[in-house]
Amino acid sequence: MILPLGQTAPDFEQDTANGSNRFHAWLGASWGVLFSHPHKIAAIFATEVAAIARLGPEWARRGVKVVYLSADTAEGLADLEETQGCTVDFPMIADCDRSVATLYGLTALAPETQSILLIDPARRVRLVMTYPCGTGTDGDLHEILSAIDRLQLADSQPG
């Protein structure tokens, strides 16, 4: 079962295109968005990663760190910058053995789905979106930014 809202997001260490990454240490005091894709990178998902990367200033303005989880290898993920013409400055996790996906309950979902998890600085899961592969997240990225704004505003209010 996918992690329920309010549950602590599990810590993990995994290889990325830029070396090894311990998730909680990497997040620090930031919010995090974990984009998960169950298959190897294909053209539609390369454009999705590029759309996420192009919103880098928006993520940074909100104190959000982005990580992309894929069943692809680190070598396959490294090609994205060249093919998409943008800088991917967030970790791309090569989850070939699906250990991270299993830890987060993502393997319990239908095999043709992808997910987005929003994690707050206390490591709690605050938002989960799951949708069919092939639909891409490009249209949902601004909705995710809006959800972050609303959650951060609500968290800043007393009581």
Whole-model pTM?
Answer: 0.86
pLDDT of residue 129: 86
Alpha carbon 28 to its chain's center: 16
**Chain segment 22-41, per-residue pLDDT in tens:** 899 999 999 999 988 766 55
Residue 154: its pLDDT value, please? 94
- Percentage of residues of the chain with pLDDT beyond 90: 35
Which domains does the chain show, CATH number per domain? 13-156 (3.40.30.10)
Q: Is 115 exposed, middle or buried (0-12, 13-18, 19+ CB in 10 A)?
A: buried
